[in-house]
Amino acid sequence: MNKEISAAEASILRDNNEDVVFLDVREDSELATCRIEGALHIPMGEVPDRCEALPMDCPLVVFCHHGMRSMNVLHYLESRGFENVINMGGGIHAWAAEVDAQVGQY
């Protein structure tokens, strides 16, 4: 599986697969600025303690602001046995620019 997809590809994946889970690993303060509706929120620093709550049997699209923290989370989850993790390149910034202009930018 490709480990990184664009925001537009992530949107198509979500539209065509109801099992897809979006995981927002940004901080609470960032979430207050903008969010992708329906995304699960676990700040990056909490992922190690909460990864057992994440699905291993459906696509898990991880995102942050620009895509760097989420790529780190992807590598961590893979080290824990997850094979279903995909990074959304460009993060929520790209989502706001390419998919949903209603999502704020910062």
Which CATH number goes with the domain that contains 62?
3.40.250.10
The residue ranges of DSSP E strands in 1-105, in sequence order, are: 4-5, 21-24, 40-41, 60-63, 85-88
Quick check: is 103 in a domain?
Answer: no
- Cβ atoms of 10 and 61 closer than 8 Å: yes
Number of domains within the chain: 1
Q: What is the domain extent for residue 45? A: 4-98
Confidence of residue 2 (pLDDT cuts 50, 70, 90): low
Per-residue pLDDT at 1 exceeds 80: no
pTM: 0.95
Region 71-91: mean pLDDT is 96
Quick check: is 106 in a domain?
Answer: no
Region 91-99: mean pLDDT is 97
Instruction: Verify whether residue 58 is a known catalytic residue.
Output: no
- Strand order of the β-sheet with 40-41 is 4-5, 85-88, 60-63, 21-24, 40-41
Pick the catalytic residue from 34, 51, 58, 64: 64
Quick check: is 89 in a domain?
Answer: yes
